[in-house]
């Protein structure tokens, strides 16, 4: 080993050495502090790193190690080492960056794990030097190769250095009030260059459903594979295990009213209204039946179950949200006023921020007057997209060139046949 020319053995030794060095750093200085690379430190590090790559490439004729880093054996070795540690990351449950590592080594916070970072830097360095070697002298036929490798280089580098500038905040808003403050994952309060006024909040719910539960355990029946009856529009009867169900009255907006020793429901078109049905349940075995109200309840009214016998009761679980939407007005420092809606998987993009619908006051459900947003700002993301676009362009160029070569070979073969 370590005699010209270097190969995979030396590459494996480099990977083991970097891993051991990373473990030493992990044990002495702790996790990698990516927050220290926030603007403008990350741009300074980026410029210095690119200059370092140019120097390494310029000295490759004098220092064999630098020359080897441009060789395919170095590329394959670094890629294998990063792939192995990435597989480990996939097998170990990762914890959020704000939480301490779940293990004493640090494998549960792999992105801040020194061995992973050093191997990653090795891979990116080899990639950068490979680009320089292929780019000088420049040839048109090298464009697909350069697009693929340069795109990957840009995407990896900007995604890493831009991580410190990524802001992910949570804002709690209330109807009729304007909020410009948000908290990070550590609970620190920040004032934003924009404000959100919540104009309204609506929830579309799935139809209510009826289920049987065990009176002793409270578990849904049948055990392990519970069944339900969905009360969609127009449904007036159905069947649950051992019982025929007939809906006699349905009130989508109802309130419970205590009358003597019974609880009844009546129309109630106001905040806190719940869904209630009056039904008849008939035992398919002995023909005995029970009638009564069943309701899922709300934050104002309790739920109501119908006890069918000593073993089984009929209940209506809380209705599940199908879609929830916030109507907002967003104000920016630049004077822009924007009225729009925000819902899950349909964020609002304003002034470099992506505003996502995160949650609401689940205790009030459809009557919630609170909406919780997640605000994300990643100023380096466009450069990551540029890198991805370059890789896609390189792949297209490779495909086109391969097709041209195949057509050329086919033409030559046909020409030979004609002669």
| pLDDT of res. 418 | 42
Rounded CA-CA distance 370/367 in Å is 9
What residue segments make up the domains of the chain, in order of their start?
Answer: 8-136, 169-203+323-377, 207-319
Q: CA dihedral defined by 360, 364, 365, 369, rounded to 10 degrees?
A: -50
Residue with more model confidence, 405 or 75: 75
| pLDDT of res. 414 | 58
Instruction: List pLDDT tens digits, range 196-250.
Output: 999 999 999 999 999 999 999 999 999 889 999 999 988 999 999 999 999 999 9
Query: Average pLDDT of 97-110?
Result: 82
List the 370-377 sheet strands across, edge first.
337-343, 321-332, 189-205, 178-183, 167-174, 370-377, 353-360, 348-350
If we measure between CA atoms, which residue out of 309, 252, 306 comes closest to residue 279? 306
Instruction: List pLDDT tens digits, range 7-53.
Output: 889 999 999 999 999 999 998 988 898 888 888 999 999 999 999 99
Per-residue confidence at 419, pLDDT binned at 50, 70, 90?
very low
| pLDDT of res. 136 | 85
Instruction: List pLDDT tens digits, range 208-217.
Output: 999 999 999 9
| pLDDT of res. 417 | 47
Rounded CA-CA distance 77/85 in Å is 13
Instruction: List pLDDT tens digits, range 298-353.
Output: 999 999 999 999 999 999 999 999 999 999 999 999 889 999 999 998 999 998 99
Would you say 376 and 167 are in contact if contact means Cβ atoms under 8 Å apart?
A: yes
Would you say 316 and 251 are in contact if contact means Cβ atoms under 8 Å apart?
A: no
Tell me the residue ranges of DSSP E strands in 74-154.
none
Rounded CA-CA distance 365/360 in Å is 8
Instruction: List pLDDT tens digits, range 123-174.
Output: 999 999 999 998 888 888 888 889 999 999 999 999 999 988 999 999 999 9
pLDDT at residue 416 greater than cutoff 60: no
- What is the Rg, in whole angstroms, of the alpha carbon atoms belonging to the chain? 32
Percentage of residues of the chain with pLDDT beyond 70? 95
If we measure between CA atoms, which residue out of 159, 17, 145 comes closest to residue 77? 17
If we measure between CA atoms, which residue out of 179, 182, 240 comes closest to residue 209? 240
If we measure between CA atoms, which residue out of 289, 291, 293 comes closest to residue 303? 293
| pLDDT of res. 107 | 87
Would you say 188 and 179 are in contact if contact means Cβ atoms under 8 Å apart?
A: no
Query: Average pLDDT of 387-412?
Result: 78
Instruction: List pLDDT tens digits, range 352-397.
Output: 999 999 999 998 988 999 999 999 999 999 999 999 999 999 888 8
Query: Average pLDDT of 173-183?
Result: 95
| pLDDT of res. 196 | 96
Instruction: List pLDDT tens digits, range 254-294.
Output: 999 988 778 899 999 999 999 999 999 999 988 899 999 99
Place of tokens 């925000």: 342
| pLDDT of res. 179 | 95
pLDDT at residue 4 greater than cutoff 80: no
């Amino acid at each position: 080993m370590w005699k010209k020319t270097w190969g995979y053995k030396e590459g494996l030794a480099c990977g083991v050495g970097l891993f051991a060095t990373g473990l030493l750093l992990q044990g002495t200085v702790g996790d990698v502090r990516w927050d220290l690379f926030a603007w403008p430190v990350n741009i300074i590090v980026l410029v210095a790193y690119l200059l370092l790559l140019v120097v390494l490439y310029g000295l490759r004729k004098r220092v064999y190690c630098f020359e080897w880093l441009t060789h395919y054996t170095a590329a394959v070795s670094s890629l294998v080492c990063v792939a192995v540690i990435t597989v480990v990351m996939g097998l170990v449950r990762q914890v959020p960056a704000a939480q301490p590592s779940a293990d004493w080594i640090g494998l549960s916070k792999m992105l801040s794990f020194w061995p992973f970072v050093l191997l990653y830097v090795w891979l990116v360095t080899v990639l950068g030097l490979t680009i320089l070697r292929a780019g000088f002298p420049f040839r048109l036929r090298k464009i697909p190769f350069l697009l693929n490798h340069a795109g990957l280089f840009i995407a990896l580098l900007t995604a890493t250095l831009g991580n410190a500038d990524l802001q992910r905040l949570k804002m709690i808003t209330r109807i009729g009030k304007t909020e410009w403050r948000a908290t990070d994952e550590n609970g620190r309060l920040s004032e934003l260059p924009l404000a959100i006024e919540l104009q309204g909040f609506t929830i579309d719910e799935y139809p209510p459903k009826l289920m049987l539960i065990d009176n002793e355990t409270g578990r849904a029946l049948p055990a392990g594979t519970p069944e339900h009856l969905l009360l969609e529009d127009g449904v007036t009867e159905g069947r649950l295990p051992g019982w025929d169900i007939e809906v006699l009255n349905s009130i989508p907006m109802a309130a419970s009213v205590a009358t003597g020793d019974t609880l009844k429901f009546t129309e109630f078109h106001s905040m806190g209204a719940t869904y209630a049905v009056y039904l008849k349940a008939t035992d398919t075995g002995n023909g005995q039946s029970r009638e009564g109200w069943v309701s899922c309840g709300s934050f104002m009214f309790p739920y109501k179950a119908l006890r069918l016998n000593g073993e089984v009761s009929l209940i209506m679980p809380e209705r599940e949200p199908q879609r929830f939407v916030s109507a907002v007005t967003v104000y920016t420092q630049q004077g822009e006023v924007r009225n729009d809606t925000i819902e899950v998987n349909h964020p609002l993009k304003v002034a470099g921020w992506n505003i996502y619908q995160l949650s609401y006051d689940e205790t009030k459900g459809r009557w919630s007057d609170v909406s919780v947003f997640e605000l994300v700002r990643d100023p380096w993301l466009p450069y990551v997209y540029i890198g991805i676009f370059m890789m896609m362009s390189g792949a297209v160029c490779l495909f086109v060139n391969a097709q041209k070569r195949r057509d050329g070979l086919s033409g030559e073969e046909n020409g030979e046949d004609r002669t």
